Amino acid sequence: MTRMDSRAAAIRSYGLREATVSGSSPSGVHKGEISPELLGLTSLSGAEVLQRLRTSERGLSAAEVERRRAAYGANKVAHEERETLVGQFLRRLRNPLNILLLTLASVSVVMGDREAALIISVMVVLSLSLAIIQERRSSKAAEQLRAMVHTTTAVVRQVDASDQGPAAPSEPREIPIEDLVPGDIVHLSAGDMIPGDLRLIAAKDLFVNQASLTGEALPVEKHSQPEPTPAVDIGGLTNICLMGTTVLSGSATGVIVLTGRRAYFGGLAAAIAGERALTSFDRGINRVAWLMIRFILIMAPLVFLINGLTKGNWVQALLFATAVAVGLTPEMLPMIVTVNLAKGALAMSHRKVIVKRLNAIQNFGAMDILCTDKTGTLTQDRVILQKALDLLGHESHEVLEYAYLNSYYQSGLKNLLDVAVLHHAEAETLVRTAHEYRKLDEVPFDFERRRMSVAIEGGGRRLLICKGAVEEVFAVSRQGRAGAQSFPLDPTHWAQLRSTVDDLNADGFRVIAVAVKELPATQATCDLRDESDLVLLGYIAFLDPPKESAGRAIAALARHGVQVKVLTGDNEIITRKICREVGLPVERVVLGSELESLTPAQIADLAERAHVFAKLSPSQKAAIIVALQRNRHVVGFLGDGINDGPALKSADVGISVDSAVDIAKETADIILLEKSLLVLDEGVIEGRKVFGNVVKYIRMGASSNFGNMFSVIGASAWLPFLPMAPVQVLANNLLYDFSQTAIPTDNVDEEYLARPRRWEIGNIGRYMLFIGPISSIFDYATYLTLYFVFGAKTVAQASLFQTGWFVESLVSQTLIIHIIRTRRLAFIESRASPALLLTSLVVCAVGVWLPYSPFASALGFEALPLLYWPILGVMILVYLGLTHLTKSWFHRRFGLD
């Protein structure tokens, strides 16, 4: 069930690796082409670019922003537009089952049977209306929640001089991406999604992932220098960043050139809007639908030929065959699926969970492994800086001060550790110290080095301050310092430091090393080469305690057949401690370094056996998920960082949170407004309820249709008249369909919810073979009763026969859903929802009433003899009992819940 990145796949299908320069379409949307307007800026300097776009480094004024928004519109792409009611209706009407029904209605009109055409049309409208109403309800709830979540970008705009003075500085501020206009100045850092097609005017160690456009996994370095030679493909755009790509590391400033549909990706989105790779749930539904259609294509002609040959009235035979085809069509299947999924999404919205893709609900139910990061999921996501220690283990204000300066001046992605440093109890004093310095340059963080550095100037000296993972910072340090004492570092110091760090990790602390280096007075910039010969000062220790609810949530997921595996970039000691505290088995912790030399088969074996993985790179997280999928697992992943992007794309269910970086929120199928595993357990249950109720309808329809095949063929060959008039078949089907509309509200047994659920078409087929013929046995018992007991043998008594079979058929198939819906004893050990019980009783009552109603003559019914009713009651009870026994044997025989 590996979920493709359908956007990238669809884009690649348009040949975008070889995209070339061309003109725009008349609408101004560039479909797979690099805009000449964008390319014309590549050879210009930053100042010339700003002049060309009529903007400045201070950004646009509020009035200019409004003028440009009026001219260019909101920065949105096609997939964000809401589908109209008419569009939704037409989309659902194109379903193959609805097309078949409308075709049959047209045949009925041509043959002069307007009543049949009307009934068929009512069935289609009923199915479409219920599906659309429920889907719009869930969409409205999701939109209300989605309004609380914004993907934002840091933009520089001119400050109103009346408020801030004539020379008011322009400071970056976060605004929703859709509010951007061409000419806006944006600041980018690691984790940001590029909000529009832009030209870089400043960049520092900027690496961008363009996989969403090119399919190329390796990051591409970008800079702001002019390019004298125009590029002819995406890979050559070294000073251009395109909408939809993401910043992996580094920082930059750029000016927005194209937004919305005018952007490269916006034009592609308009061309491929709505296209999405089918999930296994979609494919399973389609297989069932086409199975039923093929079944109809065999049955309808057979019924037509038998009745035409035996009765000689080919027009009547065609009308009856048409009605039988309608009766065999699972016309409520699209409605049942949509209403179930929408109902699940609505239930999740009440728990502050945004479901971006309805089918993700069912994938939740099928999920048997949840991979998650540690921070914020198992822990409280409330990191506190507890200790600042020198190399001798003493509290050190110097270490705290340098750590603060590093966090204060770095412009990249400020993670929870930086936030904890900046909010330390001494922050008021430390910020005054920070103002005594000015920033010169920085070397941004990346997941390979696992450290970052800033260069600052103050007090007559220039410093490089490095902060990062202990092992990585120690590796580039030459000396150590504790107070006034300096000493060269050697392996014994590393052993002592490692021991101290291990002790802190064992107590639940995350440890970050701090080092410093004096730079020459003439050096104004820095790069990776400057991260060498550092002086190691000490380390800062953070505490992120485990959540109280984490243990309960993991236990609940385990009860429901979902394993939790932790995939983290943190070290093994602290990971082991946290996992033990929340009840996760930690026989061994697999490190990322161990995976580097393993084959895919070995990784798959290890991924199966281990539960905790530490010090992983982003690609290793994705590799573990893919390995689990190769082992036929359905895998969910919960993550919120830039390093979680590849794993979120690879997972069958990508889950993120409101506070996540842009790329994580964009990639995820589901967004949690509260980061809690308890919510995920509820999502698992909702997914299984959805699947369970869909399978109830399919089992019911498949077994009923299979049984009806024997009943209709036998009666057609045996009787001198039609076993049921066409209009009666359609009325029977319409009433039965109405009784099934309440299935999405039905309860699902606890044992069914206890383990993951997937499509098992083979079991549905076997169910049809064993349960279907039972209904035929009682149909034939009804035939024999009407034929021999009540004398309905000739064409003159056809109405009596047809009425008797109509009532028996309707009542039996309406009540049998209560047997099929559970493996327990129906009505006693497991009760249907009140809505399903009510619709069943109403439909049965209508079926009993119709032969005595004012509509009886129009429908070809007549009053049934009094003796018929007790015979019918006995047959229904025996039918329900025999079906229950067969069902119970079937579940035991094939090990089904």
353-392 pLDDT, tens per residue?
A: 888 777 778 788 889 999 998 776 777 767 889 899 999 8
pLDDT surpassing 60 at residue 261: yes
Model confidence at 757, pLDDT cuts 50, 70, 90, reads confident
Whole-number Cα distances in Å, 177 to 35, 112, 170, 181, 354: 21, 58, 19, 9, 19
Q: How confident is the model at residue 28 (pLDDT cuts 50, 70, 90)?
A: very low
At 52 the pLDDT is 92
Indicate the DSSP class of residue 395. Answer: B
207 pLDDT tier (thresholds 50, 70, 90) = confident
**Active-site residue, 681 included:** no
pLDDT at position 214 = 65
Please state the φ and ψ torsions of residue 422, each to the nearest 5 degrees.
-70, -20
Considering only 29-43, 493-507, 729-743, which range has the smallest mean pLDDT? 29-43
Residue 611 amino acid letter = H
Residue closest to 371 by CA, chosen among 752, 690, 680: 680
CA pair distance 33, 594, nearest whole angstrom: 43
Distance CA 404, CA 388 (A): 11
What is the rounded distance in angstroms from the CA atom of residue 320 to the CA atom of residue 526? Answer: 85
- In this predicted model, what pLDDT tens digit does every residue of 74-116 receive, in sequence order? 888 654 456 677 877 887 777 777 777 788 788 878 877 787 7
Binned at pLDDT 50, 70 and 90, residue 825 comes out as very high
**What phi and psi, each to the nearest 5 degrees, are found at residue 172?**
-60, 140
The pair phi, psi for residue 506, each rounded to 5°, is -65, -25
- Per-residue pLDDT reduced to its tens digit, 427-454: 788 888 888 999 999 888 877 788 999 9
Return the closest-CA partner of residue 655 out of 870, 871, 372.
Answer: 372
Measure the CA–CA gap between 661 and 190, rounded to whole angstroms.
Answer: 9
The 10 Å Cβ neighbour count of residue 157 is 20
For range 481-490, the mean pLDDT: 88
pLDDT at res. 81 = 52
Tens digit of each residue's pLDDT (9 = 90 or more) over 640-699: 776 787 888 888 888 888 767 666 777 788 888 776 778 888 888 888 888 889 889 888
Phi, psi angles (nearest 5°) of residue 386: -100, -35
Structure tokens at 183: 């000419």
pLDDT (0 to 100) of residue 3: 37
Distance, CA of 661 to CA of 16 (rounded, Å) = 27
Residue 26 has pLDDT above 50, yes or no: no
- Return the percentage of the chain with pLDDT > 90, whole number: 33
* Strand 635-638, strand 653-657: pairing: parallel
CB atoms within 10 A of CB 824: 16
For residue 192, give the nearest of 866, 181, 203, 183 by alpha carbon. 203
193: alpha, beta or left, given left = phi > 0 and alpha = psi -120 to 50? beta
| High-pLDDT (> 70) share of the chain, % | 88
Mean pLDDT of the chain: 83
Question: Model confidence at 185, in pLDDT bands (50, 70, 90)?
Answer: very high
pLDDT score of 414: 62
More confident residue, 520 or 704: 520
Q: Is the pLDDT of residue 633 over 80?
A: yes
Among 5, 373, 652, 681, which one carries the catalytic annotation?
373
